[in-house]
Amino acid sequence: MKKPLLLLLILCIIIIIILCIRHCHCNPGPVTGNRTDSPSRAPQRIPDQLVVFYKHAPSPQDLTDLKKKIKDAGIDTLHIEVQRCENCTDTLMELWKTPHIETFVHAETVKGGASTGGGTHSVGEDDLGYYLPNYVINTPPEIIPKEPYRSRGQKFRTDTIYSHTADTVRVAILDTGIDPNLFFSYPQYFWVNKTEQANGADEDSNCLKDDLKGWNFANGNNDITDDSRDGHGTRVALFIINEFQRNNTNALQLLILKTHNKNSEGDMFNIMCAMSYAASKKAKIINASWGFYSQYYFVSPYEPIDAIITRIMASKGILVVTAAGNRIAAADDSALHAGIAPADLRNLDRHRFYPACFGGKPNNVLVVTSANDTMVSPSQNYSTTYTDLAVMADTLDEGSLKFKIPLVAGPPEYIAGSSYATAIATGKIAALFPMSSWPAPPSSPKKADVLSKLGTTVGNKTTLEHQVNGGKFIRHH
């Protein structure tokens, strides 16, 4: 009798051990040190690609030394393909391609030198430059629409168009493109490259042929048509245009740079190239209604794009208005596995979303979210450190704070997401800010100065001070 009981006990112990092993494998515990608990929980990246951002123009010897470092890291250097930004006037960024080259960021050879970051699991750095994988960056809607955007079939209202007499403000939208019907309905609100002609040539000598209305960095051509399912870029443009329709002040020029494909996916390299293009065409504001989550915990884990936004764009006199970010199920799941508490998933101090988390200092990055009178939308991010402004939503529907889409014909449509709050803020700033007060390069626009110049347009609510810096807000209407 004792023997069967003993065997049963042993079997139970074995089962318990197996369950414990499985549990430990699926729930590896909290973050320790300067990395995630698993490299697979880093942002999605394109295999075999390495973004190289030079601190200075590289010499031939610099490039020889870099290839040697890559070879010393065990990576094949005989078949490296080097791609530059399509706008070839930018010489500081390159995309290097060869099998497993993205692992170079882990190499000991890029952790020394005159480093500001000391080398990490997300970015490498040495005296020559910064190195990081080519991360995928999405423009996810807060709620996927039941019906796809009616591309090319959407009708737009042609409301009374103001005759703007103040300054012209050029705003670059880095997104999924634009519905051609919107361009034809409101052509006065879009930038046109007057130095270029539709002749297959390159009159402005930037290596982009016929970049008449912008450029498609996702596909490498001049077709900036919005082919995304939710018409993300088009709707961003609608909210910006609407602010100019309502305010007879500055004149608008929208510079459309398609950085995201039909799946609303972009990548780090092309986004940085598009920012460089926007600077070369004298944009004052960049609307960045996109981003990516990360569980890496140090001040600036993505030095190349941080340097582009907070140093290079700032030196060009450009303000970057960006989204605080929305709830994304996959990112939340990764964060929970990395030890972030469920109550902290929307808190940017704990669950970091970039480029929003580049805005923690009084710099040129202004971060926007949606709110009502008492709180930020439960499905959007907040932080008194990183979130600078809330936009009051028009309605609460199905548990989401939503905005009425402006300038569309037909029955009212509503949409949710910090992407559109960002666009409203961009439109307000561009329409109302006196450009005579805008700092001239290389001076940097400071977000606090920008908000203060808007005067009574920006209000303060004590009920929002626990989620938004100073409880600052603006209204959609």
Show which residues are catalytic.
175, 232, 419
Compute the distance between CA of residue 419 and CA of residue 284 in angstroms, rounded to an integer: 19
CA 46, 51, 56 angle in degrees (round to 5)? 175
CB 216 within 8 A of CB 261: no
Tell me the sheet residues that pair with 291: 138
Residues 6+ apart with CB under 8 A from 128: 54, 55, 56, 58, 62, 65, 66, 113
Beta-strand (E) ranges in 55-128?
Answer: 81-84, 93-97, 124-125
- Run of H or E including 471: none
Please choose, from the candidates 353, 331, 326, 329, the residue with its C-alpha nearest in 3D space to the C-alpha of residue 420: 326
- Coil, strand or helix at 10: helix
State the burial class of residue 69 (Cβ atoms within 10 Å of its Cβ: 0-12, 13-18, 19+).
Answer: buried
- Run of H or E including 419: helix 418-432
What is the per-residue burial (b if ≥16 Cβ within 10 Å, else e) of 346-383? bbbebbbbbbbbbbbeebbbbbbbbbbeeebbebbbbb
Residues 6+ apart with CB under 8 A from 136: 43, 44, 45, 46, 265, 266, 267, 292
Taking phi over 0 as left and psi of -120 to 50 as alpha, with beta for the rest, 105 belongs to alpha
Q: What is the DSSP letter of 170?
A: E
Compute the distance between CA of residue 38 and CA of residue 140 in angstroms, rounded to an integer: 24
Beta-strand (E) ranges in 148-241?
Answer: 168-175, 214-216
Compute the distance between CA of residue 31 and CA of residue 24 in angstroms, rounded to an integer: 14
Compute the distance between CA of residue 468 and CA of residue 359 in angstroms, rounded to an integer: 13
Given the DSSP bridges, would you call strands 389-392 and 365-371 parallel, antiparallel or unpaired?
parallel
Q: What is the DSSP letter of 145?
A: -
- Coil, strand or helix at 423: helix
